[in-house]
Structure 1
Amino acid sequence: MNKNDSIAAISGVFPVLPTPFDEHGKPDVDSLRRLVRYLVDAGVDGMTYPGVASEFNQLTIEERLALTDIVLDELDGHLPLVAGVSSTDIEKTVQLAQAAAERGASALMIAVPPDRNTADAQIEFFSAVARAVPDTPIVLQNVPAPVGAGLDPDVLVAILNAVPGIRYVKEETLPSGQRLTVVRRTAPHTLLGVLGGAGGRYITDELRRGACGTMPAIELAEVHVALFAAHRAGETERVRQLFTRMLPILNVQAVFRWSLTKYVLHRRGLIRCRLQRAAGPLLDNEDAADVDAFLHDIEDLLAPCR
């Protein structure tokens, strides 16, 4: 795959892989490989790792490097990987970015650092990374606080004008649809597309406004693939039907984040342990019963897992 092909490939469904842990809190490499195979079988256009859904802030630099290598090894060039290299430290971000680029990542996703409160400070940060990896496109993740800075569209566009190496934006600051519209209308030609995130909860609005793709959590990947296929075919009613059927689980995911994702993946036999490192609410028995019922309602949309 040449560089132009890899840039053009960042469209469609690029789910964010979680990081499975074993009972002792160590990364579970076998389960991570199984998740990569699940996504390939589901028909995704590519995948993303590590991101917020991967608990990247709870991973050491060494773990991030090693686990990204595992994902790239399992993919073996069959699908593009957007490698998450976010950090508030420029040197760490550059280290992660150079390593991922050297190992074959198709693009690098970087969350806007929450400690840089002006356009100039953000431009300084992204310019340093872009200079270090001039041949690999950057995906700017506009995630709200506390993970990111949640930048307004005019600030985003100023950064895009100053740093042409940023070829994509992942817009997650709400209302994402309206912000997506403004960015697409006013961004320079170097921007190739805007993707949605936020677990896929606003995907119909984002697609209607011209999003080139989505980076949702992983637990319903084959449903997102079916939804995006319907979108590409112009089947708007089918898009709405699939979104409506997913929505109960997406609503639970909005509150329980990693706990919901890992519960579903464990229930589907894709990971061995539900342990999470990130702080956040855990499903109790009543919540789990609700999720079980919601999964039963969409069982016909879910592929058997191997």
Structure 2
Amino acid sequence: MVHNINCKSHYTDLIMPLTGILPVLPTPFTESGVDIAAMRRIVRFALDAGVAGVVFPGFASEVEMLTGEERLALLETVSAEVDGRVPVIAGASAATVDDVVAYGRQALALGITQLMIQPPKSIGAGADAVAAFLSASAMQMPDAEFILQNAPAPRGSDLSPEAVLKVVRRVPAVRYVKEETLPAGPAITAILADAPEHLLGVIGGGGARYILDEYDRGACAAMPALEIADLHVALDRNYRAGRGGEARTLYVKSLPLLALQAVYRMRLTKHVLGLRGIIDNPIVRAPTPDLDAMAVRDIERCLQECEVESFGRSNRGSGA
């Protein structure tokens, strides 16, 4: 049986609808800055894996550790390397409307019209305040569509499904919700059960640790980290083709690595991307736990169990 992935078919705008695997791209660093050549390789790896779109910057991109100049240079690199082949979703979260609009306009200038925005915790978790914040942002960017990122506490506002629905009804610019509160599954069910017509879908978060439950409940896409994007794409394609057993086999293979990723975050992502020949160093700016020798052995064993291939230096191409 083909499962119902709930992404509404009435969407007729020129913006491509969001479905499938949409990884949040990590930021490769050098000792002195960001690594633009490695960013190109990261994008090529994602495209070669068959992803349906890419997200940058996001929490997994260490966005809070980037200068404004670094952030823009990396987004320009992502946009140029993707070159229209899949949607690019630009993170535009910020503490003020003015900053959201500034980040959003940078993306719009690059032809990126889908913006992911996490409401700032400073405004609280009330629907009225969140709707006012997003409405004020949307008024200054009428060509943008928003993905409302509902992140769990302590990082996010942890909006209830009822609050999310109130916000979506009041802000037509919100076309998707990225639901990653815990547990996300019941929230996805509640949002989709009463969603207004302009909401095109709900996207799963949580690093794809709950992807099958999210898909069973109607999520149209998932936003994991990048390191096993090829496995996640294979899982997604099997699920959509009605091959639930094959999708579950891949899911079970991924879980030990994803459990460790929940702890070591970007440090694990970069270690694995290094093992796969995509980046040259695992430099992390965000505060994350260090990998000791036993953790490294555990990660590498879990990666072997995922049965993914190395990207390899020979696939780097120009600009490496």
Indicate whether 1:226 and 2:234 are aligned: yes
Q: In 2, are the aligned partners of 1:113 and 1:147 still within 8 Å (CA)?
A: no
- CA distance in 2: counterparts of 1:3 and 1:58, whole angstroms: 37
Secondary structure at the aligned position of 1:255 is classed as helix
Give 1:249's aligned residue: 257
Give CA deviations for 1:178-199 in whole Å, capped at 9, x if unaligned. Answer: 1000011112111000001111
- For the pair 1:159 / 2:167, whether they are aligned, the reply is yes
Structure 1 position 23, deviation (Å): 2.5
Alignment of 1:172-191 (within 5 A): 172-191=180-199
CA distance in structure 2 between the aligned counterparts of 1:103 and 1:204, rounded to whole angstroms: 34
The structural deviation recorded for 1:302 is: 3.1
More off after superposition, 246-255 vs 264-273: 264-273
Correspondence for 1:293: 301
Task: Quote the sequence identity (%).
Answer: 44
Q: Which runs of 5+ in 2 are unaligned?
A: 1-10, 316-320
**1: CA distance, partners of 2:120 / 2:195:** 20
After TM superposition, the structure 1 = structure 2 runs for residues 66-81 of structure 1, keeping only pairs within 5 Å, are: 66-81=73-88
What amino acid is aligned across from residue 253 of structure 1 in structure 2?
Answer: Q
Contact 2:278 2:311 in 1 (8 A): no
1:217-258 residue CA offsets vs partner (Å, 9 max, x unmatched): 000000000000001101111111100000010000011101
Q: Which residue of 1 aligns with 2:285?
A: 277
Give, in angstroms, the shift of residue 106 of structure 1: 3.9
User: What corresponds to 2:309 in structure 1?
Assistant: 302
Aligned residues: 302
Residue 267 of structure 2 corresponds to 259
Residue type of the alignment partner of 1:61: G
How far 1:115 sits from its partner (Å)? Answer: 1.3
Which SS does the other structure have where 1:65 is aligned?
helix
Work out whether 1:35 is the aligned partner of 2:69.
no
Distance of 1:147 and 1:135 partners within structure 2: 28
Structure 1 residue 272: Cα displacement: 1.2
Deviations 1:112-152 (A, max 9, x none): 21111122111111001111221221101101133321101
CA positional deviation for 1:3:
8.0
Cα distance change on mapping 1:5 and 1:224 into 2, 3 Å: farther
Rounded Cα–Cα distance in structure 2 between residues aligned with 1:263 and 1:3: 41
Where 2:55 maps in the other structure, the secondary structure is strand
Task: Identify which of 209, 213, 228 aligns with 1:205.
Answer: 213
Letter in 1 for 2:13: N
Does 1:104 pair with 2:111?
Answer: yes
Counterpart in 2 of 1:84? Answer: 91
2:160 is equivalent to residue 147 of structure 1: no
TM-score under structure 2 normalisation? Answer: 0.91
1:119, 1:158 within 8 Å by CA — same for their partners in 2?
Answer: yes
- Give 1:7 shift: 4.1
TM-superposed deviation, 1:102: 2.1
Three-state SS of the structure 1 residue aligned to 2:147 is strand
Q: Contact 1:18 / 1:218 at 8 angstroms: preserved in 2?
A: yes
Q: Is the 8 A contact 1:3 1:136 kept in 2?
A: no
Q: CA RMSD in A?
A: 1.4
